[in-house]
Amino acid sequence: MSADAPVWIDEVFEDRVRYGLRGQILWEETSPFQKITIVDTEHYGRGLLLDDCWMTAERCEVCYHEYLVHPPLTTAASIARVLVIGGGDGGTVREVLRYAEVEQVDLVEIDGRVVELSQEYLGAIGTAWADPRLNVKIGDGIAFVQTAPDASYDVILVDGSDPAGPAAGLFNREFYENCRRVLKPGGVFASQAESPDSFLAVHLEMIETLSAVFAEAKPYYGWVPMYPSGWWSWLYASDTPGQFQKPQSDRLAAIEPQVEIYNRDIHQAAFAQPNFVRRGLSARQG
């Protein structure tokens, strides 16, 4: 049986920009939440699309997962209990579980089929599914934080898709307020925060909303070549001003040798803000 000929697998952004990888479609289905496509690309290996948007691929995933995980994990007061919302491909929890201090990670993913298909096809990304510290809960992360006890997690990481479809509720103030309530003192919240190039208005609104909920919220920037524009961002929020700039040196020393991108210089560098972001925030506040 011969393999199918490769095709272009494109994400089309606003009908004006497209980013395509050549490869084969290994599986496609529509779950109760979204269209799920598993592909094998020539350039970045096996990958995942949700609703025709690129989510991850084997050789293009550390640039997202390292940035989401390590700035909060190196700086939180404690990292014993970590909550991950979304992240059904398993890359985020893999990075979290690198830390020996982590005792429990709860992964709350709304779409069980994303977890099952990632476990079946994307084992090179999700290498930590068998870690006994990991609990996978299939359910709505928004409802989960509504009912979670006060001060029950050290770190909350939001690894969701764009603010449409099942992830829309991960971008509103009530959700952020629940996350703050659920965090312990010294805790840290982080979320992907869209592209400052492709989604500037959403990006600025997230910064503004999180700044109103937490004592401090800081965007940080990196590269995700398969996402719109490749210029990606995350948001770090905590009730301890300046905490984002103070990674713990024992954690840095343990993590730096294990990862592809993140180190103490990248940590500080990621928080530099382009002028157009600063001006956008000033204009909204003015």
119 is in an annotated binding site: no
Give the shortest CB-83-to-its own copies separation in angstroms. 27
Give the shortest CB-123-to-its own copies separation in angstroms. 22
Pairing of strands 183-192, 153-159: parallel
Of 106 and 162, nearer to its own copies (C-beta) is: 162
4 is in an annotated binding site: no
Of 116 and 197, nearer to its own copies (C-beta) is: 197
**DSSP secondary structure, 252-267, as one string:** HHHHGGG-SS--HHHH
List all residues 6 or more positions away from 233 whose beta carbon is below 8 Å from its beta carbon.
Answer: 192, 193, 194, 195, 196, 203, 219, 220, 221, 222
89 is in an annotated binding site: yes
Binding site for its own copies (CB under 8 A): 8, 10, 13-22, 41-43, 60, 63, 197-198, 223, 225, 229-231, 256, 259-263, 265-266, 268-276, 278
Give the shortest CB-285-to-its own copies separation in angstroms. 18
Please count the other Cβ atoms lying within 10 Å of the Cβ belonging to residue 52.
12
140 is in an annotated binding site: yes
Give the shortest CB-67-to-its own copies separation in angstroms. 11
Residue numbers annotated as active site: 159
C-alpha distances (whole Å) from 248 to each of 10, 73, 188, 242, 284 are: 41, 9, 14, 13, 34
SS3 content of the chain, % helix, strand, coil (to 5): 35, 30, 35
For residue 192 the two structure tokens come to: 């992907």
**Residues comprising the binding site for S-methyl-5'-thioadenosine?**
34, 109, 140-141, 166
User: Binding site for spermidine, residues?
Assistant: 65, 89, 159-162
Q: Which residue ranges are tagged as binding site?
A: 34, 65, 89, 109, 140-141, 159-162, 166
